[in-house]
Structures are given as C-alpha cells and as structure tokens.
Amino acid sequence: MADTHEQVQDPYLVPTHTTAAAASIARWVAQHHGIAVKHCHLIRRGLNDNYALRSIEGTQYVARLYSIRPRGGFNVEFESSLLAHLAAKGAGVAAVVPAAQGRNHVSLQFPEGSRALALFRYAEGATPDTLEEFELTGRTLAEIHGAVLDYSGPPSLYTLDGHHLAGRSLNYLQAYPELGEELLEAYSRLIGGLLGELAAVEGGLTRVICHGDTHGFNNHVFADDAGCKKTVFFDFDDAGPGFLSYDLSVMPWSYLIRKTLKEPDETLRERWAHYLRGYRAGGGNPSEADLAALPLFIQLRHLWNLGEAVGRLHHWGTSSASVAWLKNQIEVFEAWKKVDLRA
C-alpha cells in the first residue's frame, strides 16, 4: 500500500537562501582542504554565512559560505589574491587557506544557485576597545593601504564609486514593495545630491584599494609572544578600488549608527583622534580634501548599508529596513551633512 504521507517537493517552492548545517561545512572542508575537523559551528548569518572550525590538531579556522547578493558575482578571486599579496608583505590580515590544487575557493551547488566556500586563517584576539587599540587599528589600516600599492593580481569585480555606494541603493529602493512615491522621491533627491557632491570633489581625493568594511568589528587586537599588541584584519569581501575618505569614514559611521547619534559624542571624538593619529603613524597621509569629504562618505556609507538590506528583502525581509525606518533616515542624512570630527 502506498504511503499517503510521502513528501513530494512542491513545484511552487522557490528557495531564496539556504543555511547549511555546520556538519555540512565540516564535511566539505575535510573533502576539499584535507583537514580533519573536530568541531564546527555557525558564527552568524549575514551578508555571508560564517562558521568557526577547529581541527583535530587544534588549529582554528573560519569558513565563509558566500551568499548570493543582488550586486552580482562573488569577488573571491580578487579578495583571496589581495590577501595573499598582503600576507606576503607582512601585513596583518587573515589569509585564505588554499583548497586542493591550490584553489582559493570551491563552488557548491545550492537550491538557490552556485555558492562559493572559502576557508580563512583564524584571527586571534578581540575587537578594539581602548584608545590605544583604535590607534593601532588606524596604523595597521595605513600599512595595508601602503602594502597594496603594487598589487597586480586579478582585478576587483567592483569599484567603490558613487554607483556602487548609492546608485545601486536607489535601484533597490525602486523595487521595494509599498514604498510611497513621496519617500522614494526624497531618496532620489538625496542620492542625486550626494552623487553631485561626489562628482564635484572626487578629482581631488586620494584613491586606495579599500578594505570596504573597516567598522571596528572586522579586525582583532591580540598580544604576540613578546607581549606586543598587534591587529589582524579580516572580511575583505567588500574590498575594491575606491576613496580613502570612504575607508576612513566607516569607523565613525559605525559608531554613529550603533549609538543612534546625529552628531559625534566625546567618545567618538577621542576614538577618531587616536584612529587618525595611528593612520598617520602607519604612513597614511590623508589630505585636507580627504578629511573634508568625511561627512559625504559617512552618508554614502549609510546608503550602501541601507541598500544591502533593501536589496536582500528576499532573504532578510522588510523588517531589516522597514518603511518607517527608511523614512526616519532622511533626518539622519540631513544631520550627518554637518558631522564635524575636528578636535
């Protein structure tokens, strides 16, 4: 007699994002990297899915399962080559652990499409907390910017320009369900104005290969065997050629948005002063034009972040950037036009 409870795949089921079990990640790492995994667990789901692993020998790693993002293809060839270049220069980065045949990643077929899996060295330590650690973070970022000047590997799929930071966000907003015409027009004017500001000053701004996400939680501070504090940067999946002002702006933006501030408080001013001091001590030399453009890039960063949420409604849902929240951000952008980080 046939089992009337047999599960049959619904032809109308369209998967948008699959979260792989930690056991699957452990098996794939063993298969493709030849590492016997003792433990694996999911760290977080976000722009990508990240997993912590420990080998039988005790070595720690982080596996990243890249998510399909609306902006386009995975930038893993550029990211892994950039990290190899930086590691060879002695810069503080968590480099890729090659898979079989020296591959920097493996491609895995998921219900929603092909996704890339890459394995990285584990970054010891914790996120910067003290003023000394923010200064160290700034110094190491400058060293990374300097070490990448002679990079000649595969190019980035993305340039961190006005279109990438703001233009894409407008496209995603235009596809947002039930977003009123008045609010959409407000964002259209806002983005048009910011892109006009950028066009007027970009010729005088310093260009670098940006990390792209230097908000203070993508680097860990640790003490080496001699007791000296060092920092290591990771998560370069948003890296690409862009503006120094943008890479510098992400740290103050992160503090402002997490604390829901419309202007810097004393803590941010102190952290920024040490961060900038460290950047200069590491060989970085932001111009007056670069620093004057910080309020512009804080806003552009916010637009990029907003766009990442709005562009992923199929995965995160509208609660990640509700209409009410989007409406409130218009006032935030207006306030951030006047951000002054000078002592």
pLDDT in tens, 65-118: 999 999 899 999 999 999 999 999 999 999 999 999 999 999 999 999 999 999
Parallel, antiparallel, or unpaired: how do β-strands 113-121 and 106-110 relate?
A: antiparallel
CB 259 within 8 A of CB 118: no
In this structure, the answer to whether residues 73 and 216 fall within a common structural domain is no
Residue 133, number of CB atoms within 10 A of its CB = 23
In this structure, the answer to whether residues 188 and 280 fall within a common structural domain is yes
Q: Is residue 13 part of a domain?
A: no
Beta-carbon contacts of 269 under 8 Å, excluding residues fewer than 6 positions away, are 341, 343
In this structure, the answer to whether residues 116 and 146 fall within a common structural domain is no
Closest CA to 320 of 46, 79, 80, 85: 46
Q: Is residue 11 part of a domain?
A: no
In this structure, the answer to whether residues 82 and 34 fall within a common structural domain is yes
In this structure, the answer to whether residues 172 and 227 fall within a common structural domain is yes
Evaluate if residue 1 carries a pLDDT over 80. no
> What would the mean pLDDT of 188-209 be, rounded to a whole number?
98
Tens digits of per-residue pLDDT, 133-177? Answer: 999 999 999 999 999 999 999 999 999 999 999 999 999 999 999
Domain limits for position 326: 131-336
**What is the C-alpha separation between 2 and 23, in angstroms, rounded?**
33
Q: What's residue 48's pLDDT? A: 94
Tens digits of per-residue pLDDT, 243-277? Answer: 999 999 999 999 999 999 999 999 999 999 999 99
Structure-token match 């491609």, residue found: 107
Q: Is residue 5 part of a domain?
A: no
Write the DSSP string, 41-53: EEEEESSEEEEEE
Evaluate if residue 5 carries a pLDDT over 70. no
Counting the structural domains of the chain, the total is 2
Which among 102, 121, 140 is the end of a domain?
121
In this structure, the answer to whether residues 170 and 318 fall within a common structural domain is yes
Tens digits of per-residue pLDDT, 210-244? Answer: 999 999 999 999 999 899 999 999 999 999 999 99
CATH code, 78: 3.30.200.20
Convert 309-340 to b/e letters by CB count within 10 Å (16 or more is b). Answer: bbbbbebbebeebeeeebeebeebbeebeebe
Which among 98, 121, 144 is the end of a domain?
121
Q: What's residue 335's pLDDT? A: 97
The CB-based long-range contact list for 318-323 (8 Å cut-off, 24+ gap) reads 318/176, 318/177, 323/176, 323/178, 323/179, 323/180, 323/183
Tens digits of per-residue pLDDT, 25-79? Answer: 999 999 999 999 999 999 998 889 999 999 999 999 999 999 999 989 999 999 9
CATH code, 281: 3.90.1200.10
Which among 121, 145, 169 is the end of a domain?
121
User: Helices in the chain by DSSP H: which ranges?
Assistant: 22-33, 76-88, 131-147, 162, 168-174, 181-201, 244-258, 266-281, 288-292, 294-310, 313-316, 323-336
Q: Is residue 236 part of a domain?
A: yes
In this structure, the answer to whether residues 91 and 147 fall within a common structural domain is no
Q: Is residue 8 part of a domain?
A: no
Q: What's residue 2's pLDDT? A: 53
Q: Is residue 52 part of a domain?
A: yes
CB 222 within 8 A of CB 125: yes
In this structure, the answer to whether residues 104 and 203 fall within a common structural domain is no
Evaluate if residue 343 carries a pLDDT over 70. no
CB 99 within 8 A of CB 106: yes
In this structure, the answer to whether residues 284 and 255 fall within a common structural domain is yes
CB 206 within 8 A of CB 286: yes
In this structure, the answer to whether residues 157 and 277 fall within a common structural domain is yes
In this structure, the answer to whether residues 82 and 179 fall within a common structural domain is no
Q: Is residue 250 part of a domain?
A: yes
In this structure, the answer to whether residues 258 and 315 fall within a common structural domain is yes
Tens digits of per-residue pLDDT, 294-339? Answer: 999 999 999 999 999 999 998 899 999 999 999 999 999 999 999 9
Q: Is residue 3 part of a domain?
A: no
Q: What's residue 340's pLDDT? A: 93
